[in-house]
């Protein structure tokens, strides 16, 4: 019973300390002048990365479908029944 009580007290203490660290009353912080340009650089780099990734995968998808339909047409299995 005593060990459980000590464990409970330690748990409450840890929760209080973490609460004080996570939710402080005042955060004495500021946003530096270079932060805005850094955020803009992040957005531009993300946009260019997404466009580049789409370009790479678009070629793979397009090539797959071109090969799929070309083989289908080449084998004569294009859905027409010859009547």
Give pLDDT tens digits for 29-44.
777 888 889 999 999 9
Q: What is the pLDDT of residue 40?
A: 93
- Taken as a whole, the chain contains a residue count of 83
Q: What is the pLDDT of residue 44?
A: 97
Mean pLDDT, residues 70-75: 69
Q: What is the pTM of this model?
A: 0.41
Q: Reply yes or no on whether the pLDDT at 82 is more than 80.
A: no
Q: Does 3 or 79 have the greater pLDDT score?
A: 3
Short-list 60, 57, 58, 78, CA closest to 69: 78
Q: Which residue stretches of 1-83 are H helix?
A: 2-22, 34-74
């Amino acid at each position: 019973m005593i060990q459980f009580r000590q464990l409970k007290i330690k748990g409450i203490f840890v929760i209080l300390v973490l609460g004080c660290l996570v939710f402080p009353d005042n955060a004495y912080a500021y946003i530096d002048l270079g932060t805005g340009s850094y955020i803009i650089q992040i957005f531009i780099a993300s946009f260019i990365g997404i466009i580049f990734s789409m370009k790479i995968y678009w070629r793979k998808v397009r090539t797959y479908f071109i090969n799929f339909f070309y083989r289908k047409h080449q084998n004569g299995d294009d859905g027409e029944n010859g009547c």
